[in-house]
Each structure stands twice: as C-alpha cells, then as structure tokens.
Amino acid sequence: MLENADLGKLIIRLTLGGLLLFHGIAKLFHGVGFVESQLASHGLPTFLAYGVYIGELLAPLMIILGYQTRIGALIVVINMIVAIALVHTHELMSLSRSGGWALELQGFFLFIALALVFLGPGRYKLHS
C-alpha cells in the first residue's frame, strides 16, 4: 500500500493555499471596500481591512511554499475567524440551498488551516 504522509501534506498545502490565494488576488484587483464596510458596521477601524492581504495573499504563499507553514496557517485561522465573526455569524447553523452547510468554504479554510498548524509542512517545502 502506498503511504506518503509528506505528499499528503503537500497536497493539503497546495489546495488550501491555492484556493485561498484566489480570494486574495480578487481583493488585490478589486480592493477591500467590502471588508472595510463590514469593519465599520461593527465599529472597528477600517484600516484593519488591509490585514486581509496578509491572510489571503501572504499566508497562502507561505503555505504553498512550505515556508513557516505553521505561522501562515495560523494567520489563515485568525483570518477566517474574523471573516466568520464579521460576515457569517448568522449562517453558523444554516444550510445552503443545495443542503450543505452554508459555511462550507469558510469551514474548509478554517479547519484545514488548523490541521496544518498541527501537521506542519512535511518534507516537500522551501527550506528555511
């Protein structure tokens, strides 16, 4: 039976980092206005919106490269907790129209990043 935990960790890193990176690239091209409005509606300083670039561009790149993966993954965990708290709390116990959890994507990013905090990058990584 084929067993390679390091290859599995690489696949997890590339999937999480790659999918989350698309969100960061979209914000790079279209701005963080939505995030700013959500922060303002909760009475928080809007300059915090620029932290999304760390959580959705820098951290995914760290994860993909395997450079300081645990730190990058922890940043993603924090980013997702903030996103859920600001935008999605009303959906925590909701189902989507197709019957899945309404926060499947956010849950995926959050829990896979949390798993990487504990797993680490594996052998296939950029050496630091």
CA-based max dimension of the chain: 55
Residue 29 domain flag: yes
pLDDT value at position 99?
87
Percent of the chain with pLDDT over 70: 98
Residue 75 domain flag: yes
Looking at this protein, which amino acid is placed at residue 81? I
Residue 127 domain flag: no
Residue 14 domain flag: yes
Residue with tokens 């994507």: 105
Looking at this protein, which amino acid is placed at residue 8? G
β-sheet bridge partners, residue 101: 95
Residue 28 domain flag: yes
pTM of the shown model:
0.93
* Domain hosting residue 113, numbered range: 5-119
Task: Give CA–CA dist 103/15, Å, rounded.
Answer: 18
Please check the confidence at residue 127 and state whether its pLDDT lies above 80. no
End-to-end CA distance of the chain: 32
Residue 126 domain flag: no
pLDDT value at position 75?
98
